[in-house]
A and B are shown apart, each in its own frame.
Chain A
């Protein structure tokens, strides 16, 4: 810190109130990022306070990390610098909600569970469901581009975020997008912010598209004896007019962890529609599965809650390849894990080619990097895919870039964007791709 922590603390206390400005070691420890402790934590209550906090940090050349619920604070490379953590937990209000518009404007610190409870009486939902993510903040979910089984029908935050109020690195409060479901006025600034890990601005308020809850919804677990059988079934499902709204694919370890009956590969699917359409599609689904050697059983809605534990290991990798090769990558992941001497648990997004590999305690970081991360990553990159280390101990992060290499020509453009909007590196310095 350029100036004394004491002086900055006073200034931040002036903005957010003394009780919302922490500087005692035990309190700060809870806000460490990759083992690095901030000097101060500030918990502003309004967009204006956030703006003043960021402006102060910019003026004092302090490095600031925005934080929602802290669930995914482990995403990213270790911070190059860290002075202040900006905790958005006090900003959780629903600012505007007209059910007839199916649009809501909410503060970034609102949790998904709280929002779900707010919209449910109107039979509407924010269709973002990262596994185990009910306590996550909506701002954090958007900034990390987190998604879940509902992606199958409704897409991700990229598709749902209509407008965003954010604070630029110099403290300027800025708005991008619109509060209506359709708008092409100016650049689509919200797209730039989704998945940007707070490196271009701090999200303070977001306007989101909601969807009506279907009148009826039922869930099925489908089990397959082999990856090959599951792959053929999945190709058939995607090439059919069937319309599941949620979809998840698990390997045997994942199924066991989720508390579901175990097969080599299992799928959890839900269909939401009018009751007769659910019934009709459910039968078609079972027929399709049986035709590929699969067995199906209806499961309660609570089955979805079991997905959370499948991605809660101390090491979590996110693998993205071509959608059609999803089951191939499950096999590749198992083989690489065996070489690295670890067991992985797979939770995947059918139709999108995304897998999360969770590894339990007791792995050797060096072996994991050498035999799992690197070879899998280079195989994925050959088809335009990627491997992101979503969560890992500092020891492993020290051995590899968590994002993987970005093509130099693309990285050059991203660097220009970052330099334009945050030349001094106030926002999350070092944590994003290419050390941005």
Chain B
């Protein structure tokens, strides 16, 4: 849809000329998120500086029936912060301040564009941090984290973003600017904050976030255990959880990823190992010491080749560097890839890893694995080359089979990345028509005109039941029926 001169003027009136991007080159920067497979350039990008401006933008777009797409740092992996139907993209990068640090209440109020890691850096000296730590935390925004309900390695112990959001300032799709939740931990009424987190901008735009701050643990211990096979490593993960130990993080890397990381950033991972477990314990030092012994024993019992404990903060940072930057070395592995984010019950880890290997072999594809083993959240990276005839099709087929295998074990389509455009067609694998219809109706409550991030999060098939009919909207004058 082309941008009319009137709409352009109205947007400029709201955000000023410096807050409006309409040039073709300028808009191209916003054509996709990190899932570059999906492209859609917005007709205009606005960079508001206040919630009032955001509210004015939503009301304007609502009146004009123009789609709105929110964007934080654009680091999502699901085709979320991109505009398949054009429209107005609202980028939160200019709303990136810490509004208030309230240590006595152990919370912070921030603008949505604030970079995740900045908050932890701003609170570290006082002994606090912001617990959700997606691997993108150096660049991803807290508004984006809340919008996708992002996870991260340490969510195993600390929970995902929604467990750390106390309140939100939101402009709903109906144009209402509202304060949901707040510094107090309970409010009468429906938990609108809980519903808004993870809604991927389909219910409203987040203009402010009140988050919990977590006290830094007394101590941290990072253990690296290498194994000759991913099966042994998977069995070790199950055994650790079975022993009643919940580490702060429990991450797995397979041989393919280890090799790529070593060739790329060089994290000192043991070359030639079939799998590496990165295990982090944090908390009271006496507790860490009591838990690390049994963990090392379990790893040895499962034929660990080597167990290494980081002896300094620098060593610890190096062990993590490889994991956190794993996505960055994928380019070394493959020209193209499909990334899954499915979850299986943690006891099924050994079983699903065998399936993953079998699916890769069946389709003659390399599938690399780097993932949150402790909560069964897989990230199989299906490598393919789109110049090789038929390879994309084989990759897609492998992708489908993998997802089906996870769901057959009682799993979930996505553990932390979200749905976006990428996974919306897979939702019927997890939900029945009635379930999807409930969600579609919930969406309409907040977004009566279907302008909020349209096409994302829910499947759009009309065949999926009456819940998917578009919002009842009066036909414009002059419409022929």
Contact = CB atoms under 8 A, between A and B. Distances in A.
A241 B217 CA distance: 6
A123 B198 contact: no
A213 B419 CA distance: 34
Contact of A410 (B180, B345, B432): B180
Interface string A164-199: 000010001111101111111111110110111000
Interface string B224-246: 00000000000000100110111
A184 B148 contact: yes
Interface string B338-364: 000001111100000000000000000
A3 interface: no
Given A176-B435, A413-B446, A403 B188 contact: yes
A351 to B, nearest CB: 8
Contact of B182 (A281, A384, A406): A384
Interface string B297-324: 0000000000000000000000000000
Given A182-B377, A413-B446, A406 B291 contact: no
Contact of B190 (A159, A196, A238, A407): A196
B184 A188 contact: no
B19 interface: no
Contacts of B347: 98, 100-101
B401 interface: no
Nearest to B203: A187
A17 interface: no
A191 B345 contact: no
A172 B442 contact: no
A123 B243 CA distance: 10
Contacts of B217: 241
A6 interface: no
A270 to B, nearest CB: 14
Interface stretch (A55-63, A315-323, A364-372): A315-323
B184 A274 contact: no
Contacts of B430: 178, 185-186
Interface in A133-181: 145, 155, 158-159, 168, 172-176, 178-181
A305 interface: no
A409 B244 contact: no
A401 to B, nearest CB: 10
Contacts of B427: 185-186
Interface residues of B, number: 89
A181 to B, nearest CB: 5
A229 interface: no
Given A180-B411, A241-B216, A168 B190 contact: no
Given A186-B457, A241-B284, A386 B195 contact: no
Contact of B195 (A178, A192, A280): A192
Contacts of B344: 180
Interface in A368-405: 383-386, 388, 403-404
Contacts of B436: 186
B455 interface: no
A277 B376 contact: no
Interface stretch (A40-48, A255-263, A416-424): A416-424
B286 A274 contact: yes
Interface in A98-121: 98-103
B184 A383 contact: yes
Contacts of B446: 413
A188 B287 contact: no
Interface string B276-294: 0000000110110111000
B185 A100 contact: no
B415 interface: yes
Given A155-B163, A188-B195, A323-B104, 7 more contacts: A159-B163, A215-B244, A241-B218, A321-B184, A403-B189, A413-B446, A414-B192
8 contacts: A182-B155, A184-B415, A185-B412, A186-B439, A243-B283, A281-B284, A409-B176, A410-B178
Interface of A: 98-103, 123-124, 145, 155, 158-159, 168, 172-176, 178-189, 191-192, 194-196, 200, 211-213, 215, 235, 238-243, 273-277, 279-281, 318, 320-324, 351-354, 383-386, 388, 403-404, 406-407, 409-414, 416-417, 420-421, 432-434
Interface of B: 102-106, 127, 148-149, 151, 155, 159-160, 162-163, 172, 176, 178-180, 182-192, 194-195, 197-199, 215-218, 238, 241-242, 244-246, 283-284, 286-287, 289-291, 343-347, 372, 375-377, 410-419, 423, 427, 430-432, 434-436, 438-439, 441-446, 457-458
